[in-house]
Structure formats: C-alpha cells, structure tokens
Amino acid sequence: MIGSRPALVVVALLLAVAAAATGCGPGSQTITITIHYTAFDPAEIEVPRGVPITFVLVNEDPIDHEWLIGDAAFHDAHRTGTHASHGDVPAEVTVPALERAQTTITFDVAGELAYACHLPGHEAYGMVGLLTVRD
Amino acid sequence: MRRPWLSLPVATAALMITAAPALACGGLIGPNGAVNLLRTTTFAGYHDGVEHYVTSFEFVGGGGAFGSITPLPGIPTDVIRGGDWTLQRLILETDPAPEAAFFDAAALSGGESREAEVLLETTIDALDITILRGGGDEVGLWAKNHGFRLPPDAPEVLDFYADRSPIFMAAAFDADAAAERGQAIGDGTPVHLTIPTDNPWVPLRILGLGKAGGEAVEADVYLLTDDRPAMLPDAGAFGQGAGLILDHSERATDGLLADLRSDVGMEWVPDKAWLTKVVVDTTAAELTYDLAIDVSGAGEPSAVDAGFAPFGPDPAPGAPAALYLLIVAALIVAVPLLVERRGRSSAHQPPLSGA
C-alpha cells in the first residue's frame, strides 16, 4: 500500500485538469457529436437535467447537415418545414459541409428527446439520435 | 430518319443529384421531380491501353437543372460528344427489336477551400462537363459549391471511389436549356471519354446513389475488348455474380464492328473484338461493388477495382496466409502441450479442502 496515496492524488489531479479542459465541471458539460457518412456519433447521449450542455457538432461530410433536437411534435413540424437554414434557435443548428457548429442548451425536464437531420432523405438514411435527460 | 429503336428508354446519367438550392427542413424535393432516371446504358471499349467510355444523358422532360457524378478509372485525355448510334447499335446487336431487323448507319445523321481540382471543362449540347481530381470530401465540396445537392449516401460512396481513383466526371444538365435548344423528350446526349488506363473498369455502385436500399438498379453494360475479358464479380458465375447477368459474350460480328467504326469518334474500333453485355438487375443495397475487368489474359481482375479490397499497397505475397498458418501451427502444438501440462499438474495437485 506504500506509495499508493500519492498516485491517487496524481490521478485525481489529472482527472480534474481533464474535466476543466473539456468543460465538464459541475455547472456545465460539453459533448462533441461527430457527423460522418450521414450518421451521428454518438447516437445515444445521457445528460443531467438543469445543467447547461454545450454541443460541439463536427461535420466530417462534404454535404450540409443539421442537428435538430426536440420531441415528436417538434420533429413532425420539421419534417415538413421549409427553413433554408437554422441557427437562431439553440435546438436547431445547421452544420455546413466540413465545418463545425456549437450550441448550448439546458434541459429542464427529464425524459427522452430525439435529435435528427431533416434534410431530404437524411433521417430515413439513419441520421437520428436519442438524448436522455435524467434527474 | 428516326429509327423506332432510337426512342428506346436508354442511356441516362450514372447517378442523379439535384442542382436545387438546398432547403434545410425536411421533405422538400428539388425541381428534378419531373426528371426520371431510366435504365442506364454504358459502353466501355478497350483497345491499345485506352478505355473509351460512352454514356448518354437523356432529356426526359421537366424543368430546372440536374446532374450526375461518374467515377472514372483515370484522367481522360479527351471528352467529346459521343457518336449518334453507338449505344443504340449495341442494344440492337444483343436485343434486336422486331421492327428494326436491319441497321443502316448511313441513313442516320448524326469554407475552408478544399474543393477538387478541375482538370477539364467542356460543354456538350446542354451538358456542362467537368473532370475533377480529388478525394471524396473535395469532390463533394466542389459539387455542393456548384449547386449540386448530394444525397445522404454521397459521402460514403464518394470515398469508396476516391480511395481507388480520385477522378470524377461531373455533368450538369440544364433541362430548360435543353428545351430551348429544341431537344425533344427522349433525346439523349452521348458523351465519349477517352481514358488511358491499364485495365478498363466500370463503376456500378454509383448507380445506387441516392436510392433507398430496396430500390431497383437496372443497367446494361457493354464491353468491347480484344479478347474475352475476365470479370470480377464474375457475372453469371455461381455465388459471385449476384445481381449481374452475363447476357451476351461472343466474338463481335464484323457487321457490328463496321457499324461502330463508322460512328463519330469510334475509328479506334479494331477489326477483331469480343463483345460482352452484362445486365445489372439488383437493388441499391446489394450493389456494393464495381465491375473489374482484366484484359491482359492473366484472368485476374483486381479485387481493388471491384471494390472488394481496400485501396493501398498490396501486402507482401502470402503474408496473411503465412501468418494464419503460423497461428494454426502454434495452436496445434500448444493446445496438446497445455492439455498435457494441465493434466499433469492437476494430477499432482492436492485435493481442495473439503473435496
């Protein structure tokens, strides 16, 4: 057991530094979602309720995508929507080809929300994900 | 005089992409809704180290603009308007229509800028042709910035090709301009590319681009080679050619060769040749390969060209097999030894307490 305590301290320090570097403090959280071959990675995310979550959306594809998050009614509306692009609403983000975008959202209600791209054919191709807000 | 078989629904683009402005909210369809892709017919002739690739873009009505991207096995040295009857004459050879029992050629007249590099630009009728060199991202970005709206599977499909041959042909077709030019519905614009390459190679997977997995993909591919080609997948071979049908494989007739040679740009057609027709009849989900062809006589079409093997330098001959053999040999030796040792050690071990 001799020498294990300093090692634990070092590990704890490293974790703290890593958490600070990624914005994963108790008051906020950063999640990077990569878009590759018209798919979200990760496609399942769990976040705490009431904490600001910064989503960094990295589009590795040479085509535009969007990241829209909401409930079923929200997605129904967007499937037939006519917006040329998104950006004014935190839950509706357009990510141009080979670029990245960022948005911050605080989820106040626990439950499940879906995120998807509603550009023609993209959702059917599998560009959907599930976000769970836990208490 | 217009032959009845000229109105056959032949020869359209290798793939379809809309040139509509991208609209972000779902369910919107570009103005290409009225433009229908019909059965595709392409011709790949190979002689003296040069592939002659002929395909046709057919005006089938509707307005607006649409386009296609076709992967190529090499950089074309020439892109010209194709001859007026090559594709139709090939169809007549393998699928003769009753009302066209003979052929009389003489009676016909005939952000961060990572865009792909533009190698060649030309205009043929209402088609703007651009030859591009670049990776999947670069070609996709070029297409996006030039008004093409790529379907969701484009990133993966473009990479599939760019890893092996970073040369693409983008064709933008302005249906309104075609109508203004007096092009009637059903009229095609054949395009003839001259491509020096070691072996001809025909892109097939791209035919499924933008289609749902269960959607049918139908195409006719004609090959004219000096000798009978070896193909991968081997159309018609058991267990290999799923979705490919070897519809015709015979020495080309003198009449066919003479007729082809009399078309514009087809002077290269040799005196003797082998005619192959491969019918693609499958679904987009099943069409995950291309047609690799070996005309060297070695009978070894490239797995890389067929899309079955990843692009890159070939591993040292026999290396994987040798590795597997070593592993198997080690297992054969090690397992009996371990069993024997375990048997010995358990025989000498004291029984567990209470046992």
Q: How many residues does chain B have?
A: 355
CATH value at residue B269:
2.60.250
On the question of a cis peptide bond just before residue B233, with omega within 30 degrees of 0, the verdict is: yes
How far apart, in whole angstroms, are the C-alpha atoms of residue B31 and residue A76?
A: 23
Model pLDDT, residue B62: 58
**What would the pLDDT profile of A73-120 be if each residue is shown by its tens digit?**
999 988 877 666 666 789 999 999 999 999 999 999 999 999 999 998
Model pLDDT, residue B41: 78
Interacting residues of B332 by C-beta distance below 8 A, sequence separation 6+: none
Contact status, residue B59 vs residue B175, Cβ threshold 8 Å:
yes
* pLDDT above 70 coverage of chain A, percent: 76
Pair B328, B225 in one domain = no
- Listed ranges A55-64, A80-89, B294-303; the one with the highest mean pLDDT: A55-64
At residue B277, φ and ψ (nearest 5 deg) are -125, 125
B165 or B61, greater pLDDT: B165
Contact status, residue A125 vs residue B34, Cβ threshold 8 Å:
no
Mean pLDDT of B321-344: 47
B214 touches chain A (CB under 8 A): no
Which of B15, B16, B25, B157 is best to mutate for the A interface (most A CBs within 10 A)? Answer: B25
Assess if residue A3 is contained within a domain. Answer: no
- Domain carrying residue A88: 27-134
Contact status, residue B121 vs residue B102, Cβ threshold 8 Å:
no
| Among B293, B257, B273, B234, residue whose Cα is nearest residue B93 | B257
pLDDT at B335 over 80: no
pLDDT at B131 over 80: yes
At residue A49, φ and ψ (nearest 5 deg) are -75, 145
B219 or A27, greater pLDDT: B219
Assess if residue B40 is contained within a domain. Answer: yes
Number of domains in chain B: 2
pLDDT at A40 over 60: yes
Pair B278, B324 in one domain = no
Count other C-beta atoms under 10 Å from residue B35's C-beta: 22
Pair B271, B323 in one domain = no
**b/e map B262-287, b = 16+ CB within 10 Å:** bbebbeebeeebbbbbbbbebebeeb
At residue A31, φ and ψ (nearest 5 deg) are -125, 130
Model pLDDT, residue B181: 76
| Among B194, B189, B195, residue whose Cα is nearest residue B84 | B189
Assess if residue B310 is contained within a domain. Answer: no
Pair B341, B231 in one domain = no
- Domain carrying residue B59: 4-22+30-294
- Token representation of residue B240: 């290999």
- Token representation of residue A119: 């550009």
pLDDT at B311 over 70: no
Pair B85, B187 in one domain = yes
Amino acid letter, B224? L
Pair B147, B58 in one domain = yes
Amino acid letter, B33? G
Model pLDDT, residue A34: 98
Number of domains in chain A: 1
Q: Which H or E element spans position A92?
A: strand A92-95
Assess if residue B301 is contained within a domain. Answer: no
Chain B residues closer than 8 Å to A93 by CB: none
Residue of B nearest to A126 (CA): B152
How far apart, in whole angstroms, are the C-alpha atoms of residue A33 and residue B289?
A: 30
R_g of chain A, CA atoms, integer Å: 18
pLDDT at B342 over 80: no
Band (pLDDT 50/70/90 cuts) for residue A3 is very low
pLDDT at B273 over 90: yes
Which region among A64-68, B20-24, B113-117, B170-174 has the lowest average model confidence (pLDDT)?
Answer: B20-24
B336 or B301, greater pLDDT: B301
Mean pLDDT of B263-283: 94
**What would the pLDDT profile of B49-101 be if each residue is shown by its tens digit?**
999 998 887 655 556 667 788 889 899 999 988 887 888 888 888 876 544 33
* pLDDT above 90 coverage of chain B, percent: 34
Contact status, residue B283 vs residue B217, Cβ threshold 8 Å:
yes
On the question of a cis peptide bond just before residue A26, with omega within 30 degrees of 0, the verdict is: no
Model pLDDT, residue A9: 47
Model pLDDT, residue B337: 47
Angle, alpha carbons B214-B217-B219 (nearest 5°): 170
Tell me how close the Cα of B208 comes to any Cα of chain A, in angstroms: 14
Interface of A with B (CB under 8 A): 36-38, 60-64, 66, 78-86, 94, 96-99, 118-125, 127
Assess if residue A61 is contained within a domain. Answer: yes
pLDDT at B22 over 80: no
Domain boundary among B278, B294, B310: B294
Tell me how close the Cα of A61 comes to any Cα of chain B, in angstroms: 6
Chain B residues closer than 8 Å to A119 by CB: 22-24, 26, 152
Give this complex's ipTM.
0.77
Interacting residues of B180 by C-beta distance below 8 A, sequence separation 6+: none
CATH value at residue A71:
2.60.40.420
